[in-house]
Structure 1
């Protein structure tokens, strides 16, 4: 488990195309309400920009799932569900993913009956990974069982109110006043695509075709331009961008001067540039330029209307939040078995953390003399992104000893 988590601190949930060709997938039902009910609303939890919802499966739960526009069929990442739900008639399948590895093994089930709020679905196809390669629970600090995507968004008009962590969903055709600026959407391979305008020093103003992926915690990822690697800025830094279904994804991180989403303009946006062979060269991704993630999407309250091929955006209280990258050079994850514990998974080269002597596998005990047991993942992330030049005291446990280190945060991009 520990070695898998080395790839997680900047999770890139760009999930594979799954070739589901059996009748269960072709005839999948949609979520619906019983009786005359037409709408519902639930609260969600947000960690590292990801939307976490409670889902009941086959009458059991709730299980925490990430609500993710970037996936098609449901993906179950926690294999313990196979036994606890007594799933049978599992068919072995192969999944092609993004990353340096090869195909991975999974199972296909058509025995899933799910419930979210008061909406239910039966005979929903789901891919069940034989191994939890994402380690989502460590990344968000609470147990995550999988990803819920197209089957939910395709069933309703879905409103994500990021500002107050509220999920509203109603049946298409229901009388509802839709507020926000309309952005045209194309649904391709069960995922929403939009066009945005970006301005870079290398290419000038470019219209980019992006998959809308609120299950990716980054702001924006640019993969390809005219079937070549998208040019990164000269001051970009090398980085581990996360993990795909087939392994780690490497690349660089820089800034784009301007990103235009409809009439909204965002400046100095943190941008990921995956290595071309790891991501863009995958044949099933051709025809798109990149991925629009939750660090941008969470700055809006968004309505997704798949049936109407549109999404509607209204800026919220997070809109003017500056885009910041980690200034410490520490990538970390959380384990919670008997108690909450934080570990360093990776140290970026030439970073304040490397210069201070911190190392992978160090357990973080305190930050600025506050025990990490009293901090959340979001708290620590905010500290490490807080202010250029700010001193941060960190104590770690290593090989039986407690070490105290001082790092000075540095804005590297």
Structure 2
């Protein structure tokens, strides 16, 4: 049995480090686009700054996270998906991830058929992870069955149009570069099959060059590894927070702001930056010269062309570019946690006494209200920042949120609820929660710790 290492940044932010090949490591098998134009467009969903694409594996339609920081495709086997996929030629290995837990058992499978739009690969390796904790669906409110990255990017030119939510795949030999006055074209560097880019960040009034992993599988903006000798350290305004859940446990660190972030001529201001505790990122820091990760909340502000064959990346500003960098001001992390049986009223207007209503002098009198029972999503507090407004108000991990500002939560998607916690400082939040057999009400105001 072999030991390999998995590193996961932020919530849903994955960085696999278990294939230590030099260069790009192109294999004999590759993705081929099966049409005359040698190009195809695939629609994707953008959820919490993450790209979710449709992927067909051995004839089964699934949803995958597109992650530039992943070396080989992974299937999350918490629903025994691999049984449906009929995977074969398996080998057991172990993965070690962020957090302080133990390695987990993983099944490696060879010669699987992957299809993304018109792009197909006939002999793809994949890894089935048997760990119920590695399940992104509750945090995203959308089913995610796996992750794919390097194997797609190395074979095709991949254009990510965040504005239109379209992925364009092109055979490298058929791709033609166009002149672009408003774009920036930068060189990529590769280590262990992962793309790195050079940038500059202004911290404490000092501009510092940094080498960053490009991590489309991370929902944060910027992760930096603190290093006093390089001047990479948080300013005095920060708070300690849950940053995500790794394969081997939770990851914590500082949340702060960087005055500016530069990708050549492109400048972003007041950027969110996280500094994970070194305890949780030992494997990620093994690459000498790496200073952190560049993730979805910055990447989505550009339409991007990844060309691994030519080691180039092209960035063009889109309508997200000037969007303010917000953060969760409540201290609450929510997850979809099963279903609740909800009683809803159905009112009918009629002239009988069988579950309908009658009108008398302009007043509706309910004779026998009818009800229907429906299964609705339940949203549970899974992380609660110490000292946050929500914690001070008396909320606890495990509380099931029934309503927010007097509106039942089952009317909202998970991401619609979460965005309410990113509102303006001072905004009032009223929550009704279920705690055991009790229904409780709490109220607090959002707090900006960086003012």
Q: Which runs of 5+ in 1 are unaligned?
A: 1-7
Q: 1:217 aligns with which of 216, 219, 241?
A: 219
Q: Is the 8 A contact 2:26 2:154 kept in 1?
A: no
The 1:227/1:98 distance shift into structure 2, 3 A limit, reads farther
What corresponds to 1:138 in structure 2? 138
Q: Which residue of 1 aligns with 2:363?
A: none
Contact (CA 8 Å) 1:172, 1:307: kept in 2 or not?
yes
User: Which residue does the alignment assign to 1:183?
Assistant: 186
Structure 2: distance between partners of 1:38 and 1:408: 54
C-alpha distance in 1 between matches for 2:111 and 2:169: 24
2:281 corresponds to 1:279: yes
- Match in the other structure for 1:297: 299
Distance 1:89 1:254 in 2: 47
Deviation (angstroms), 1:86: 1.6
Q: Which moved more, 1:41-50 or 1:337-346?
A: 337-346
Alpha-carbon distance in 1 for matches of 2:263, 2:230: 24
How much does 1:339 deviate? 3.0
Cα–Cα, structure 1 residues 145 and 138, in superposed 2: closer, same or farther, change >3 Å? Answer: same
1:369 aligns to what? 406
SS in 2 for 1:91: strand
Deviation at 1:96, TM superposition (A): 3.0
Structure-to-structure mapping, 1:199-218, within 5 angstroms: 199-201=202-204, 204-218=206-220
Runs of 4+ in 1 over 6 A off after TM superposition: 226-229
- Give the 3 Å change call, closer, same or farther, for CA 216–193 of structure 1 in structure 2: same
Residue 406 (structure 1) aligned with residue 408 (structure 2): no
Cα offset, 1:76, TM superposition: 1.1
State the partner residue of 1:330: 332
Distance 1:344 1:9, change over 3 A: farther
Q: TM-score, normalised by structure 2?
A: 0.84
Structure 2 regions of 5+ residues with no counterpart? 1-7, 340-374
Residues 15 and 245 in structure 1, CA contact (< 8 A), matched pair in contact too: no
Matched, 1:108 2:105: no
Aligned residue for 2:15, secondary structure, equals coil
**8 Å CA contact retained: 2:334, 2:381:** yes
Contact 1:199 1:258 in 2 (8 A): yes
Aligned-pair distance for 1:103? 2.6
Aligned residue-pair number: 401
SS at match of 1:339: strand
Cα distance 1:381–1:176, how it changes in 2: closer, same or farther (>3 A)? farther
User: Which residue in the other structure is 1:5 paired with?
Assistant: none
Corresponding residue of 2:378:
341
Give yes or no for contact 1:78–1:144 (8 Å, CA) kept in 2.
no
| Contact 2:9/2:218 (8 A) holds in 1 | no
Q: 1:32 to 1:259 in 2, by over 3 A?
A: same
Q: Radius of gyration: which is bigger?
A: 2
Match of 2:308? Answer: 306
Q: Distance in 2 between matches of 1:227 and 1:286?
A: 14
**Partner of 1:3 in structure 2?**
none
Trace 1:3-402 onto structure 2 (pairs within 5 A): 11-19=11-19, 27=27, 29-34=29-34, 36-61=36-61, 63-79=62-78, 80-178=80-178, 179=180, 180-201=183-204, 204-225=206-227, 230-280=232-282, 284-336=286-338, 338-402=375-439
- Does structure 1 retain, via aligned residues, the 8 Å contact 2:75–2:82? no
